[in-house]
Amino acid sequence: MRLDFFDCNAQIGRFGAPEKEHYFEPEELTSRLGECGIQRALVFHALAKELHPAEGNRALSEAIRGKPELVACWVAMPHHTGEMPPPSEFVREMKLAGACAVRLFPAYHNYQLADWCIGEMLDEFEARGVPVFIEAGQTNYDQLAGVLRSHPKLRLVVMQTSYRCDRQIYPLFEKYEHFKVETSSYLAAGGIEAICKRFGAERLVFGTGAPYTEPGAAVASITFADISDEAKQAIASGNLERLLMWE
């Protein structure tokens, strides 16, 4: 069965301290992903992480204009300092720009993933069904549990986990039906199979981590998993497609 892959975890734009094998331009990303059978990607801009979300989100819109295979993921942070618009306005601007998801970098951007700091924005994302992506290294599982406890319907995807995270993600799977894990660095032996059997394939979303990691390895982990073809296709693209279909 030929799988239709849709990457939820890809970056474009020049970033600090690159290695010689890294790439920056949208065309380079789509070419590299295409070589591995990945036809679409949800992307954010490096400037939104390393400079400022507002600058990076604007740069992203410019960079991917006319490239339907690349879907915009905006970076958000709390609005209290006036650097970002209030939550409802931020989501309105997202929709107008065609952005379909949000990514958070609390460690890089120096704020707390807690209700007293970002609760109003999380309220808006939860109410509107906006999918929220966050790397495990930008927070910790206790903070993620606190977010989900306060926002149980938040569509939250944790990214760049590790092979040793099961004792922390399993309780979150049990308690919160909208909690999901991105697959690129979830490398537990038999882990994908175990999650599909116990919680369902809908809890996993395909990602690569490009341009930092090799996309072919991410494709192989799904292609050769001992699960049904239907489950493989759900992880490869179906789950992400459903996440991006919010109001």
DSSP character for 234?
A: I
Taken in order of first residue, the domains within the chain and their CATH numbers are 5-243 (3.20.20.140)
Nearest Cα neighbor of 110 from 66, 140, 142, 77 is 77
β-pairing, 204-205 with 156-159?
A: unpaired
For the record, the structure tokens of 82 come out as: 């006036």
Per residue of the chain (247 residues), what is the pLDDT tens digit? Answer: 799 999 999 999 988 887 777 888 999 999 999 999 999 999 999 999 999 999 999 999 999 999 999 999 999 999 999 999 999 999 999 999 999 999 999 999 999 999 999 999 999 999 999 999 999 999 999 999 999 999 999 999 999 999 899 999 999 999 999 999 999 999 999 999 999 999 999 999 999 999 999 999 999 999 999 999 999 999 999 999 999 998 7
Single pTM value for the model: 0.96
Strand order in the sheet with 132-135: 5-12, 38-45, 70-76, 101-104, 132-135, 156-159, 180-182, 204-205
Tokens of 193: 């199979």
Rounded (10°) angle between helices 166-175 and 191-198: 20
> Alpha carbon 47 to chain centroid distance?
17
Nearest to 77 by CA among 69, 86, 68: 86
Q: Are 41 and 6 in contact (CB under 8 A)?
A: yes
Q: Give the 3-state secondary structure of 37-97.
A: CEEEEEEEEHHHHHCCHHHHHHHHHHHHCCCCCEEEEEEECCCCCCCCCCHHHHHHHHHHH
Predicted pLDDT of residue 15? 85
Residue 141 amino acid letter: Y
CB contact at 8 A, 134 and 158: yes
